[in-house]
Amino acid sequence: MNWLLLNSGKCDAASNMALDEALLENVSRLGKPVLRFYGWTEPAATFGYFQKFSEVERATLLRPLIRRPTGGGMVPHDADWTYGLVVPPNHEWYSLKAIESYRRIHEWIQSAFAKMKIETELAPSCKKSVPGECFAGHEKFDLLWHGKKIAGAAQRRNKSGLLVQGSVQPPPVSLKRTDFENAMSEVAREKFQIEWRGFSVDKKLATRADELALQRYSQAFYNQKR
């Protein structure tokens, strides 16, 4: 199976969310799943599409606060390792139940950490603490290191495809982000028989991402609409 690999570097929060949504809209045209690694030009927080802005605003001092196209809780961003996975509707991953695609992505990350000699485990059940904060407790199949959540994700399925947005808060040991990204790619080759093709954002995709960033994700009316 050929998948597309995109490392878009560091972007501002609105642009990051816009490019993920643009990839979801265009994944059928691209014809293959896309794994995107990215970072942040400034500290920020994203929050789930259905969350109330007023609750998120009280929960963190981080700014800007950007509403994600996916669900889930509030996630702080700065030095975290962030990724987006988009899958077209004719792909096997798209047909999975939400809990199964959630488990699969974290099994993938768990295997990547194992390649780096870091032992982790999937959470066997939920542990709630602070409502609405993604990393304050954990959900079933989140990734744990010494009992603490280090990886979570949020999903969105629609007629365009499946979008998974994930954040890894790396454990406090000597690890490089590039090593993690390489391990993710290697595990995919071994576990899923995926062959990677480098991918660059084309003009149509870039134009749509710019529109979404300008007209939606950088606008208070959108981020504060609930």
**CATH number assigned to the domain comprising residue 164:** 3.30.930.10
**Average pLDDT, integer, range 93-97:** 96
Q: Is the pLDDT of residue 135 over 80?
A: no
pLDDT of residue 92: 95
More confident residue, 134 or 225: 225
Confidence band, pLDDT 50/70/90 cuts, at residue 102: very high
Confidence band, pLDDT 50/70/90 cuts, at residue 131: low
**Average pLDDT, integer, range 103-124:** 96
In total, how many domains does the chain have? Answer: 1
Residue owning tokens 């800007």? 64
Provide the annotated active-site residues.
134
Burial class (CB in 10 A: 0-12, 13-18, 19+), 158: exposed
Q: Is the separation of the CB atoms in 163 and 20 below 8 Å?
A: yes
The boundaries of the domain holding residue 194 are 2-223
Q: Is the pLDDT of residue 42 over 70?
A: yes
**Average pLDDT, integer, range 51-68:** 95
Of 193, 166, 139, nearest in space to 85 by CA: 166
- Averaged pLDDT of the chain: 94
pLDDT in tens, 158-215: 999 999 999 999 998 989 999 999 999 999 999 999 999 999 999 999 999 999 999 9
Of 167, 112, 97, nearest in space to 134 by CA: 167
